[in-house]
Each structure stands twice: as C-alpha cells, then as structure tokens.
Chain A
Amino acid sequence: MSNKILTPVKEFEELLPQEYKDLVNNGPHNGKGGVKKLGTFKEVTEAHPHCAGCGVALGIRLSLAALPAPEDTLVVGTPGCSFFALSQSAINYSNTAFGNQNAVASGLKRMLKLRYPDKHKDVVVMVGDGGVADIGLDYTLHSWFRGENITTVMLDNEVYGNTGGQESGMSLKGKVLNMAPKGKEFNKIPVFEIAKTSGCAYAAKITIANPVKLGKVIEKAVLIAREVGPTYVQLYTPCPTNLKFAPEKTIQAAKDAEKTYYSFEEFITKEAEEYLSKEAKKQETKQ
C-alpha cells in the first residue's frame, strides 16, 4: 500500500477531524512510528471504552505503536476487552468468532501471500488470555505447528474481563474469581513454554511496565514472522476492575508481577537471529 492512500485530497484536508490529521501528518503510517513517538499521533482513539487504568488498552497502544509497517498490517482479534481499543485503532482490524483468531489469520496470511507475493503483509493476532489459552488453544497451537507466518500477541490480564471477571486458564492458582468460587485449582497454562517447543521462531514474555523493551519485542516478532515462522508475545496487561486493585496501580501491578513470576524472558531460534541481523545490515546499507 502506498502511504499516499492515507493522505487526504487538498480540498478535504481542512474538514478532517484533528485526530485524523494527526494520524496523517505524524502517524506511524509514514514510517515515523515507535513507542517513543507515542502522544504525537492517535494509534488508539481517546474514546475507547476500557475501564480506567486498563492494562489491555495500554498493551494494545504500545504494541500498535511498535508495528514495523502499520500501513500493511492486518490485525485479527476475537470478542473480548481487546476488541474495544482495537476496533478504534488506526489499523485495519477484523474480529470474528471466539477463539478462532489463529485459524482466521492462517487463511488470511496465506491468501495475502498468494495475492501479494512481492510484498510483506503482516498478519498479527491480538487477543486476550481466554482467547489464546482456553477457547482458542487448539487453533493457536496448530497455527504454530503448521508454521504459519503470523504473530500472536496474548494480552494476558489473567481473567475474562469483558464477561465480568471469570477465571481463565491464565489466572493465578488460588485466585478467587467468578466461576472459581473456591479459588483457581491449577497453575497458569504454560503457553510461553509451549510456544518454544511448538514451532515458534521467536517468543517473549513481558509486561506493560517496559514500554521501550516491549516495542522492540513486538517489532522483532513481526519481522521474524514475515519470513522465518510463527512468533508469540505474551504480554502481562493487569486488569484493575476484576483483579481488584486501584486504576492508578496498573503499572505497579505489572512491576510487581515482573519481580515475582512475570520476569522478562525471550526465546529465539538461530535462524530467526540470523534473519534479524541480515535485516539490520540491509537497513544500515540503505542509510
């Protein structure tokens, strides 16, 4: 896609809403992206209906800002909290049934490869922990086993947020939640560990407390998925509403988790590493 598609015709320029002007003039679609540029453009509109202090909204905001080529990125999701910000972002987003996002993304990516063999069309799945680890685990794993060239981002808020705070497979053991009235009886599903042995060329576990590092992780994940294989980012996005902490404590909750059970971890195959350094060299030569 040409960046010019985003540029409004002169006659309409003045009529556009300010946020669209910001997007066109300063937005990531002009190769000006990156987490550090946040606040200069609207990658997620201010009207998203997430709860105050929502970790998922922040996780989406940081992830979208870090996409290497937002002008050619298709995001696939599933109903749930993630939908609210994604459907109002400056990115092309499709939401289908529950849990089937990696199957949808598989078909989409393959068709885009057929239709645009000489272009990178990045397909990124961005859904909650329930969508990846529970209802969609089968489809997630099979997309990895098949080696589909897609990036899966789990927005892990450790709970079903949108339906009112039910236990998910990613909730902490012992946590009392709806549908777990005596506390959750089993551990967090080790999706990150599974990713490493299921065909992912790159996997990372990180929290929203590290915006710049997260940006790099997302960028790597999307680049590697282009040519090497599936990639997975497990992003801790705590939920103040259902995990019952004050909205201003979200970053603190993420930092606490990082110190105890959510420390940064990264897995990368040799092939993926080589690909990244080859790409970096290409960039240097260009400059």
Chain B
Amino acid sequence: MSNQQKSVDAGHLFFEAERQKSFITGSEAVAEAIKRANVDMAIAYPITPQSESMHLIGDLYARGYLKDYYRAENEFAVMASIHGAALGGGRVFTATSGPGTLRAMEMFPVWAGSRQPIVCAFMCRGVALPPSIQPENIEMSFLLDTGMLMFHAENAQDYFDMILKGYAIAEQPDVHLPVGVFADGFFVTHTREIVMLPPEELKLQEYDPKACPVPVFDMESPPARITRDPLLNKSNFISYAANASWHQEILAAAERARKHIKHYLGGLIETENKDAEILIVASGTAVSQSREAIKALREEGIDAGLVKVKSIRPFPEAEIREVTKDASLILVPEFNAGGWLAREVKASIDNNSRVVAGPRVFGGMTMPKDLIVSELKSALQSRSHVNASPQMSK
C-alpha cells in the first residue's frame, strides 16, 4: 500500500534497486510504473486499447496509491482537467488512444505552453474513417509539433521504464515539459512478457512545485498578480516578441532534455551492428520485427544493422547522422500510412536517397519479418542498377 511505500531518490529507484522478473501485459506495466511514480491524481476516459490500463490505475487509487482519480466526460475534458490539476502543482497521469488523442488535441500544446511535467501514455491505434481499433501509430505524426517530449516504447519493459523515468525527465527544472510515452496498441498493451520491476515498496519522491520554472497557480507564490498567458490580441511588437520568445523557450527546453534522456534512458537511440552497410531504422514494435528480419537476412548472408529510435522528440538528428554516415541503404519500416519516421530520418541526414521509406503497414495489419526482408532485397536489387551511375554513388 502507498502508506507503506518508501520515497527514494530517482537514481536509486531506476538504477540501483534490485529488479525482479514479472510476467505482465503492457497495460499492467503502465500500472506498475504509476504505482511507483507517487502520482497525486489521475483522470480517465475509456477508449480501446487504453481502457485496461486506466482501470488498473483506478484500482491503484482504490488501494491508496493515488490521492484522487475520476472518469471525466471525454478526452478533451480529461486533458483539460489534467492541465488544471497540473496548474495546481501536483503530479498527474492519464492515457489515451487514437481518436481520443485527436479529440483532445487542442490541449497538448497548452500543456507544453504552460510548462507542465504531465506524463501521458498513448496506446496508439488507427483513427477514423473507416473506424478502426487496430494497432497503428499515425497519431504520433499529429503530435510531433505540439511541444511535448515523445518517447516510443518497443515493448512492455520500455513502456514501464519510459513512463516512470518520464517523470524524472519531465520534472527537471530546466525541462519542465509534458512527456508523451507511446506504444503500439495491442501489440504492447495486450500481450504478456517478462518485465523487470524494482520493488513495489519504493516510490519516487513527491513532486516539488517550487522547482517549477513558472509559478504554481495556487496563490502561494508572490507576486500575487500573474497571468499564465501571452498577450492575446495585442497588436504590437512587444506582444509578438513575448509570444515568439516563449515558443523559443519551449523548443530550448526540449533541447535541454537531451542530456536527461541520455542519463535516464541511456540515449535517444540504441544500435546493434551499427557499422553494417545496410541499416534498419525503426521505433516502437517495428524494432522487434526488424530484429527478426535482421536474423533472417544474416542467415541468407546479408549483413544488416539496427537503429532503435527511442526519443522522437527531441529527435536524435546528430546520433542518426553519425550512425548512418557509412550506410549505403537505410530502411525505415513503420506501422502507419504516412511514414512520419522516414520523413524525420530523411530530414536529418545527407544524401537521403539512401533512405527506403518502408515497408509500411496500417489498418491493424501485422508486419511479418518477411515483408521487411523482401522490401530490403528489392531495394538492394534496384540500387545495384542505380549505383552503376557514378553521380548517384555515395
């Protein structure tokens, strides 16, 4: 129970406390993270595949791990109420999925603009029309420029760690921005796997609203007279400059998050066999499928490496530029129709005709490793013609 939990330093909870094996679903991993996060308040609204995780967090509230929890009237209300609760100076949590994300969309830039260290879990799924509840992560592309930090979990272990550590990153006084932790719905949320968990008797220290770079909305901090907003509708240069500099500050805060992400998540990317001439760059569950594809390719004598992108915002441009500098072919498989990750990768590197933006699956379809293998082989085949032309060679 919460009153028996001991508050410990984040470093101890994350890195020193002995972890034990637990065979749980991704939704359960979310609840296990919140159990240890010393969250004051969570607000929920049902949507598939998110609902189960917020049921479990409701159970945590009933057992005394959280101080307040309720079901709001829709996702926009949830995100607005979470914003209000964060204004009041506490640690908060919520989660949503696909169409819920889109319904709540207006609030995400408000969170970032208010410098709120809200952690929100997104269990990605298709959006209408035609309606789909199936896995796919197109909603992430809509959130790329809301100002929030975005981490993409490959599996339940990532989901647990990124949510729990997300608080430590979000609450750094030089960051103090919302963190969205994304997982591909069903593949992560509804499957069971081994997750290494620190003891449930330990929890993070409580949120310190005094370490917030903007005053808490509680009438406890001077000056008494503050407005939380830029100068709306004032048509003069000072108001333009005030608004623009605030946006710059949000972007700068996201940049400052890089060092904390490196510290807590071990880097913005992870690599395997990074010196291979062929690299697969992926995020989320596409990483797992890519690992399988790389094994199959190796059996056929084709050497390929893997770049797992963990942080989507801030985007690891420098890391990807460095790791791909000697690659001749970069394949970006994705669980969405838009190909947002491929666009990000292309925008980060030189000579981006090396990037093969695919394969892509969506509408809930799975990505068999064979699909990645065949896409890669057909790219190699067409490149062998292209590379004969000197101006196109690297």
How far apart are the CA atoms of A84 and B229 in the complex, in Å?
A: 11
Asked if residues A104 and B80 are in contact (CB atoms below 8 Å), the reply is: yes
Residue of B nearest to A86 (CB): B227
Indicate whether A114 sits within 8 Å of B73 (C-beta atoms), given known contacts A87-B229, A92-B225, A107-B83: no
User: Which of A1, A29, A107, A146 has a CB less than 8 Å from the CB of B88?
Assistant: A107
What is the CB-to-nearest-CB distance from B79 to chain A, in angstroms, rounded to a whole number? 8
What is the CB-to-nearest-CB distance from A149 to chain B, in angstroms, rounded to a whole number? 13
How far apart are the CA atoms of A178 and B313 in the complex, in Å?
A: 42
Query: Is B217's beta carbon under 8 Å from chain A?
Result: yes
Asked if residues A74 and B232 are in contact (CB atoms below 8 Å), the reply is: no
User: Which of B85, B110, B222, B233 has a CB less than 8 Å from the CB of A110?
Assistant: B85
Query: Is B40's beta carbon under 8 Å from chain A?
Result: yes
Query: Is B26's beta carbon under 8 Å from chain A?
Result: no
Which residues of the other chain, A, contact B229 by a CB distance below 8 angstroms? 83, 87, 94-95
What is the CB-to-nearest-CB distance from B174 to chain A, in angstroms, rounded to a whole number? 23
Query: Is B74's beta carbon under 8 Å from chain A?
Result: yes
How far apart are the CA atoms of A97 and B81 in the complex, in Å?
A: 12
Q: Mark A92-133, 1 if CB is under 8 A from B, else 0.
A: 111111101001111111111011100001000000000000
Query: Is B219's beta carbon under 8 Å from chain A?
Result: yes
Which residues of the other chain, B, contact A103 by a CB distance below 8 angstroms? 72-73, 76-78, 80-81, 84
Asked if residues A104 and B87 are in contact (CB atoms below 8 Å), the reply is: yes
Indicate whether A107 sits within 8 Å of B84 (C-beta atoms), given known contacts A114-B67, A114-B68: yes
User: Which of A74, A91, A100 has a CB less than 8 Å from the CB of B218?
Assistant: A74
Asked if residues A106 and B84 are in contact (CB atoms below 8 Å), the reply is: yes
Which residues of the other chain, B, contact A90 by a CB distance below 8 angstroms? 224-225
User: Which of A88, A96, A111 has a CB less than 8 Å from the CB of B41?
Assistant: A111
Residue of B nearest to A5 (CB): B222
Query: Is B106's beta carbon under 8 Å from chain A?
Result: yes
Q: Mark A171-193, 1 if CB is under 8 A from B, else 0.
A: 00000000000000000000000
Asked if residues B40 and A1 are in contact (CB atoms below 8 Å), the reply is: no
Most buried by A among B41, B81, B220, B227: B81
What is the CB-to-nearest-CB distance from A11 to chain B, in angstroms, rounded to a whole number? 15
How far apart are the CA atoms of A109 and B84 in the complex, in Å?
A: 8
User: Which of A23, A83, A107 has a CB less than 8 Å from the CB of B82?
Assistant: A107
Asked if residues A5 and B224 are in contact (CB atoms below 8 Å), the reply is: yes
Query: Is A167's beta carbon under 8 Å from chain B?
Result: no
What is the CB-to-nearest-CB distance from A269 to chain B, in angstroms, rounded to a whole number? 23
What is the CB-to-nearest-CB distance from B340 to chain A, in angstroms, rounded to a whole number? 25
Which residues of the other chain, A, contact B1 by a CB distance below 8 angstroms? none
Asked if residues A111 and B225 are in contact (CB atoms below 8 Å), the reply is: no
What is the CB-to-nearest-CB distance from B251 to chain A, in angstroms, rounded to a whole number? 21
What is the CB-to-nearest-CB distance from B269 to chain A, in angstroms, rounded to a whole number? 34
Asked if residues B41 and A110 are in contact (CB atoms below 8 Å), the reply is: yes
Query: Is B339's beta carbon under 8 Å from chain A?
Result: no
Query: Is A25's beta carbon under 8 Å from chain B?
Result: no
Which residues of the other chain, B, contact A79 by a CB distance below 8 angstroms? 232
Which residues of the other chain, A, contact B86 by a CB distance below 8 angstroms? 107, 111
How far apart are the CA atoms of A163 and B227 in the complex, in Å?
A: 22
Query: Is A254's beta carbon under 8 Å from chain B?
Result: no
Query: Is A160's beta carbon under 8 Å from chain B?
Result: no
What is the CB-to-nearest-CB distance from A174 to chain B, in angstroms, rounded to a whole number? 30
What is the CB-to-nearest-CB distance from A22 to chain B, in angstroms, rounded to a whole number? 13
How far apart are the CA atoms of A96 and B82 in the complex, in Å?
A: 12
Asked if residues B72 and A74 are in contact (CB atoms below 8 Å), the reply is: no
Which residues of the other chain, A, contact B110 by a CB distance below 8 angstroms? 96-97
How far apart are the CA atoms of A97 and B92 in the complex, in Å?
A: 19
What is the CB-to-nearest-CB distance from A165 to chain B, in angstroms, rounded to a whole number? 16
Query: Is A134's beta carbon under 8 Å from chain B?
Result: no
Indicate whether A100 sits within 8 Å of B80 (C-beta atoms), given known contacts A29-B224, A95-B229: yes
Which residues of the other chain, A, contact B63 by a CB distance below 8 angstroms? none
Asked if residues B41 and A114 are in contact (CB atoms below 8 Å), the reply is: yes
Query: Is B107's beta carbon under 8 Å from chain A?
Result: yes
Which residues of the other chain, B, contact A110 by a CB distance below 8 angstroms? 41, 68, 85, 88
Residue of A nearest to B226 (CB): A92
Which residues of the other chain, A, contact B67 by a CB distance below 8 angstroms? 114
Asked if residues A121 and B219 are in contact (CB atoms below 8 Å), the reply is: yes
Query: Is B70's beta carbon under 8 Å from chain A?
Result: yes
* Segment 204-233 of B: residues with Cβ below 8 Å from A: 217-220, 222, 224-229, 232-233
Which residues of the other chain, B, contact A74 by a CB distance below 8 angstroms? 217-219
A-B residue pairs in contact (CB < 8 Å), sample of 22: A5-B224, A49-B233, A49-B234, A71-B224, A72-B219, A94-B229, A96-B83, A97-B107, A97-B110, A100-B76, A100-B106, A103-B78, A103-B80, A104-B80, A104-B83, A107-B88, A108-B87, A110-B88, A111-B40, A121-B218, A121-B219, A162-B233
Q: Please give the residue numbers on chain B whose beta carbons come within 8 Å of chain A beta carbons, in ascending order.
A: 40-41, 43, 67-68, 70, 72-74, 76-78, 80-90, 92, 106-107, 110, 217-220, 222, 224-229, 232-234
Q: Please give the residue numbers on chain A whose beta carbons come within 8 Å of chain B beta carbons, in ascending order.
A: 1, 5-6, 23, 29, 49, 71-74, 76, 79, 83-84, 87-98, 100, 103-112, 114-116, 121, 138-139, 142, 146, 162
Q: Assuming A97-B80, A111-B90, what are 13 further A-B pairs, CB within 8 angstroms?
A: A6-B222, A73-B219, A74-B219, A90-B225, A91-B225, A94-B227, A100-B80, A106-B81, A107-B43, A107-B80, A107-B92, A109-B84, A110-B68
